[in-house]
Amino acid sequence: MGKDSKPKDKGKGKQAAGSSGGDDAGGGGKGGKGKGGKSADGLGTCTYVKARHVLCEKQGKINEAYKKLQDGWLDNGDKVPPAEFAKLNAAVPVISYESQMIAQEYSECPSGKKGGDLGWFPRGKMAGPFQDVAFSTPVGATSAPFKSTVPFGLASMGTTSSSVKEGRTDQSASASPPPPPAPAPPTERTRPAQRPGRQSSTAVAPTTKDAALQEFRRWVSSHGSDAGSGAAAPAAVPEVGLGLVAARDLPRGEVLAEVPKKLWLDADAVAASDLGGAVGRGGLRPWVAVALLLLREAARGAGSPWAPYLAILPRQTDSTIFWSEEELLEIQGTQLLSTTMGVKEYVQSEFESVEAEIISENRELFPGTVTFNDFLWAFGILRSRVFAELRGDKLALIPFADLVNHSDDITSKESSWEIKGKGLFGRDVVFSLRTPVNVKSGEQIYIQYDLDKSNAELALDYGFTESNSSRDAYTLTLEISESDPFYDDKLDIAELNGMGETAYFDIVLGESLPPQMLPYLRLLCLGGTDAFLLEALFRNAVWGHLELPVSQDNEEAICQVIRNACKSALGAYHTTIEEDEELLGSENLQPRLQIAVEVRAGEKKVLQQIDDIFKQREEELDGLEYYQERRLKDIGLVGDNGEIIFWES
């Protein structure tokens, strides 16, 4: 599935640029909260590092660069000036100066050629092996060469910081990304829908692509699908790859195709295949089973009953799970980066499990080598191409229907498809796809993938974003601190009101705060003379009190907690909003860079909006009505003008 490309983001799609690989977008991976102290990765207590890097394609070249850094000599015959030592009286600036020169001379990536400065990185937000090296290299030192996806690099450390707690303060506010949700099957369609120029279906020559499309059309028609009825046809579309094009004028609600169940790739197809016995014993998640079916059928080549369909699938999308380390640097500081890395870790874990329990035990089914990248490709295909409502045990990949692309012009929440019975007594199950709007002959057909997804989610699942402020969102994480002396009471109150120790609030640009956020914040910061509200006497009524300001001290505390969290989060980005907007205004921005800039700019705008809300609230503290004043009014001890009424006996 995917979005086509009209000018200015008019279409995004599932087809993607072509290489291999595949990541999962299921949600999994590791979370993002810590309490300070020694972290789980054993890399020490610092939470931020500032580093430079040098990236080279050949190991010999990186070894040469490393030796020069150790010796202090540059190619022009200069040695690192001794005056630097005297002037600065510190090793770190000298290392910085020297590594900058070496990076400019040796590095084979754009950032390296500019000196390799990566800026500040928080723990958990660095890609690949960079984090392990960065947090284990002493300040002022240079790491030995290490292998990365570039593939060889080295890092020189500027300094570290442990002054910011990881993920929360004593009042437990965090503007860092929440832990990824429990692993879920990839149920969103892979819609590499992107702006003009973002996607192409496969890395094959046009004539080969045309032949593959023709064979796919014949295959669909020969298996009893009404896709050959003439309403729509799969076609190559500019800048996206593949899509569905109207073969005639189509009114809204017209059936485009009815794809019979025998063409689907789902749990039933797995059970009926030669994989069925092996997978059935494994108790696998549906998406894992279908991913293995994809890999098994791909290995069979022309002998697979799905061969014509597999031949038109993209080798990769612009989903962030397929990005290189250098590309991921463009989203440093974002929640998207930590989510992407968490998803990839989750897919890696699933792969290691099935590789040991299924693949290695059934070599006759997987005669060749199955790599993590192969498994990631299958995950990415499912994540981007499966219709959103087909999740869990219902997960199914629907050939032909999954070619339909996304358009932000389609704003109806009404479903564009249904699963229904057909034939005698309705026993033949089909997937029926309809057009949600009128379409002219020759125009591409679009649907809406998901109105509720943020740009970060669209980027992760499908590899595109929209220039729409309603897609800009940030998840604020709030947590009751275990060190809070009233922890048990606060947790009890939260649970009585449908919440828990940790709460996640999705805040959208231009929209008001979620209604439960302020009460939860006030609960977190409740203490001192306000702690009486935590007594059992108030247990059933306390949430109602928390929906309004409790006291000036409490209200001031929540403002400080949120503003500090926003400041910390904003400091993790390596660009400003203004710099991002300038980039977005330039022409011919590379697709993945455009995704990165739009996501990070959107997150920063939301964080700035949150900060502005609480800054304004701080300025209004003196004019707010608090619990004690409301209570006195309730019992008639405050007059209309706010004066205290004293009754004489």
Catalytic residues: 449
Quote the tokens at residue 449.
């993938």
Q: Which regions of 263-389 does DSSP assign to beta strands (E)?
A: 265-266
Helix or strand run (H / E) with residue 242? strand 241-246
Q: Which residues contact 525 (CB under 8 A, 6 or more apart)?
A: 171, 554, 557, 558, 561
Q: For the purposes of burial, counting CB atoms within 10 Å of the CB of 366, is it exposed (0-12), middle (13-18) or buried (19 or more)?
A: buried
Indicate the helix (H) or strand (E) that contains 133: helix 130-136
Sequence-separated (6 or more) residues with CB below 8 Å from residue 222: none
- Please report where in the chains the tokens 């990631």 appear, as a residue: 376
The C-alpha atoms of residue 326 and residue 148 are separated, in whole angstroms, by: 10
Torsion on CA atoms 318, 319, 322, 326, rounded to nearest 10: 80
Pick from 162, 169, 33, 167: which is nearest to 481 by CA? 169
Task: Locate 207 and state its tokens.
Answer: 């004539």
* Contact in structure between 532 and 628 (CB atoms under 8 Å): no
3-state secondary structure 283-312: CCCHHHHHHHHHHHHHHHHHHCCCHHHHCC
Task: Give the closest residue to 193 by CA, choosing from 284, 67, 319, 72.
Answer: 319
Residue 209 has which token pair? 């692509």
Task: Give the three-state DSSP class for 477.
Answer: strand
Largest CA distance in the chain: 100
Handedness of CA 122, 125, 127, 129 (dihedral sign): positive
> If you ran DSSP here, which 8-state letter would residue 628 be given?
H
Quickly count: other Cβ atoms within 10 Å of residue 254's Cβ.
17
In a 3-state reduction of DSSP, which class is residue 142? strand
Closest CA to 445 of 195, 256, 199: 256
Taking the CB of residue 643, how many other CB atoms lie within 10 A of it?
9
3-state secondary structure of 270: helix
Q: Which residue, 557, 534, 521, 550, is CA-closest to 488?
A: 534
CA distance 119 to 329: 10
Closest CA to 149 of 410, 355, 394, 329: 329
Alpha carbons 601 and 474: distance in angstroms, whole number = 11
For residue 544, the Cα-to-chain-centroid distance in whole angstroms is: 35
Nearest of 574, 502, 266, 499 to residue 390 by alpha carbon: 266
Buried b or exposed e, range 503-520, using 16+ CB within 10 angstroms: bebebbbeeebeebbbbb
Helix axes 552-570, 517-525, angle to 10 degrees: 110
- Taking a C-beta distance cutoff of 8 angstroms, is the pair 355, 56 a contact? no
Please report how the helices 577-584 and 591-619 are oriented relative to each other, as an axis angle in degrees rounded to 10: 140
20 neighbors 294 (Cβ within 8 angstroms): no
